[in-house]
């Protein structure tokens, strides 16, 4: 039997996913997840029998509801539907799909639109942290077109400005969950950080890589992937994430010197495919690691940062990602603080209707 479920398809940043009102899906994962697997067409590498795009970046779900919290308008649960396995995971957040949550909440009447722009306060259920998304709403309607460009998406759209308020340690309990700015795992120097996304930074040169290899080249390098996965499993324990064999965190980011005027260059394993760009919260974590003395990123870059507002430009396979932060005390791990992180994304409503699940 086919079951019809109200659904919107949206591009959020450099990802694409299915957006639902919480009331339109069963609350219990045991009933909800089989429906999501069916809607996406998982498990299947091509997701031929579903709406998924056969890549982790296009096999994502947002579930949104009105918040009962005083500090938020809506609650947002992110779910990663694994492409080739019958798995749905809430173990990570997603800042790209987050970019579509504000517009979706306004479109669905969860938040009243202002006359010019609307600030949507979003409580991110995966991590318990909050973000504010500023959405353009001329004449109290969501506007998707504009001049804002983000690398990894053709053309331009209306900007969605996102401010993160309290994301340090949101998945792992602390910003540097191992307690150190640098650790050694399997003889490789690593920095384990969680500023909104658990990420392990690794110097590309330690794997005899330049750091500018294409995602396809890296994905074809099986011994590299095995080496990185072995480090990831140990890092997961060190980062208070437990056994991460079936989790999509931590992400593994290879860093190298910038090639195009940014601060540094990256290639991110998310964690088994290589990102065509870089995740939103992933890039906030990478940018943060650059600032503190003693991290593998700081050792590579040898650049110090004064207290106050800074902008960090993270290069990735399809361009650059700019992160604005307010920081202090970057001399040592005990005094280091991030007061705010902000960035620009765009989003677009692609389809609104009913998605059909096998039930």
Q: Which is nearer to ligand NQM, 201 or 357 (CB)?
A: 201
H/E run at residue 33: helix 29-40
Burial class (CB in 10 A: 0-12, 13-18, 19+), 242: exposed
Work out whether 250 is an interface residue with ligand NQM (CB under 6 A).
Answer: no
Q: How far is the CB of 345 from ligand NQM (least distance, A)?
A: 9
Q: How far is the CB of 335 from ligand NQM (least distance, A)?
A: 26
How many CB atoms are closer than 10 A to CB 326? Answer: 14
**Stretch of residues binding ligand NQM (CB under 6 A), selected from 89-97, 163-171, 327-335, 342-350:** 89-97
Q: Which is nearer to ligand NQM, 82 or 263 (CB)?
A: 82
Q: How far is the CB of 14 from ligand NQM (least distance, A)?
A: 5
For residues 90 and 81, what is the distance between their CA atoms, to the nearest angstrom? 9
Q: How far is the CB of 75 from ligand NQM (least distance, A)?
A: 17
Cis before 43? omega within 30 = yes
Nearest CA among 109, 97, 84, 76 for reference residue 18: 97
For residues 185 and 336, what is the distance between their CA atoms, to the nearest angstrom? 24
Work out whether 215 is an interface residue with ligand NQM (CB under 6 A).
Answer: no
For residues 281 and 307, what is the distance between their CA atoms, to the nearest angstrom? 22
Q: How far is the CB of 37 from ligand NQM (least distance, A)?
A: 18
Work out whether 266 is an interface residue with ligand NQM (CB under 6 A).
Answer: no
Q: How far is the CB of 307 from ligand NQM (least distance, A)?
A: 26
Q: How far is the CB of 78 from ligand NQM (least distance, A)?
A: 9
Work out whether 59 is an interface residue with ligand NQM (CB under 6 A).
Answer: no
| Residues in binding contact with ligand NQM, number by CB under 6 A | 16
Q: How far is the CB of 279 from ligand NQM (least distance, A)?
A: 2
CA separation (Å) from 298 to 124, 194, 216, 304, 331?
30, 16, 28, 8, 11
Work out whether 198 is an interface residue with ligand NQM (CB under 6 A).
Answer: no
Rounded to 5 degrees, what are φ and ψ at 200? Answer: -110, 120
- In order, the DSSP letters of 279-290 are -HHHHHHHHHHH
Residues numbered 91 to 110 that lie near ligand NQM (CB under 6 A) are: 94-96
Q: Which 3 state secondary structure label does DSSP give 217?
A: helix
Q: Say if CB 330 and CB 301 are below 8 A apart.
A: no
Cis before 97? omega within 30 = no
Binder among 121, 123, 225, 251 for ligand NQM (CB under 6 A): 251
Work out whether 282 is an interface residue with ligand NQM (CB under 6 A).
Answer: yes
Q: Which residue is nearest to ligand NQM (CB)?
A: 279
For residues 61 and 199, what is the distance between their CA atoms, to the nearest angstrom? 21
Binder among 61, 113, 167, 280 for ligand NQM (CB under 6 A): 280
Binder among 10, 57, 106, 133 for ligand NQM (CB under 6 A): 57
Q: Which is nearer to ligand NQM, 130 or 137 (CB)?
A: 130
Binder among 100, 262, 279, 319 for ligand NQM (CB under 6 A): 279
For residues 196 and 284, what is the distance between their CA atoms, to the nearest angstrom? 7
For residues 257 and 277, what is the distance between their CA atoms, to the nearest angstrom? 16
Q: Which is nearer to ligand NQM, 247 or 251 (CB)?
A: 251
Nearest CA among 101, 308, 317 for reference residue 204: 317
List residues near ligand NQM by CB under 6 A. 14-15, 56-57, 94-96, 197, 248, 251, 270, 275, 279-282
């Amino acid at each position: 039997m086919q079951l019809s479920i109200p659904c919107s398809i949206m591009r959020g940043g450099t990802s694409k996913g299915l957006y639902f009102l919480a009331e339109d899906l069963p609350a219990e994962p045991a009933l909800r997840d089989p429906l999501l697997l069916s809607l996406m067409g998982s498990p299947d590498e091509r997701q031929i029998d579903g709406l998924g795009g056969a890549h982790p970046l296009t096999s994502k779900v947002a579930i949104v509801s009105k918040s009962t919290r005083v500090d938020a308008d809506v609650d947002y649960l992110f779910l990663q539907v694994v492409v080739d396995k019958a798995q749905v995971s809430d173990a990570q957040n997603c800042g790209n799909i987050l970019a579509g949550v504000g517009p979706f909440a306004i479109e669905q009447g969860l938040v009243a639109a202002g006359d010019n722009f609307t600030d949507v306060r979003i409580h991110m259920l995966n991590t318990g942290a909050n973000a504010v998304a500023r959405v353009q709403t001329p004449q109290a309607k969501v506007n998707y077109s504009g001049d804002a460009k983000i690398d990894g998406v053709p053309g331009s759209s209306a900007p969605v400005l996102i401010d993160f308020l309290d994301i340090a340690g949101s998945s792992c309990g602390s910003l540097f969950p191992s307690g150190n700015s640098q650790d050694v795992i399997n003889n490789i120097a690593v920095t384990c950080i969680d500023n909104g996304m658990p990420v392990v930074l690794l110097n590309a040169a330690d794997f005899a890589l330049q750091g500018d290899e294409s995602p396809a080249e890296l994905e074809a390098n099986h011994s590299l992937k095995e080496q990185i996965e072995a480090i990831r499993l140990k890092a997961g324990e060190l980062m208070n994430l437990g056994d991460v064999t079936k989790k999509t965190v931590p992400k593994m980011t290879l860093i190298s010197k910038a090639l195009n005027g940014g601060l540094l260059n990256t290639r991110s394993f998310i964690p088994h495919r290589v990102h065509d760009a870089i995740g939103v919260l992933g890039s906030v974590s990478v940018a943060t690691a650059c600032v503190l003395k003693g991290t593998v990123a700081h050792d590579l870059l040898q650049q110090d940062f004064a207290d106050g507002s800074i902008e960090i430009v993270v290069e990735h396979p399809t361009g650059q990602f700019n992160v604005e932060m307010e920081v202090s005390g970057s001399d040592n791990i005990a005094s280091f603080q991030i007061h705010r992180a902000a960035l620009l994304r765009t989003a677009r409503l692609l389809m609104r209707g009913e998605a059909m699940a096998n039930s």
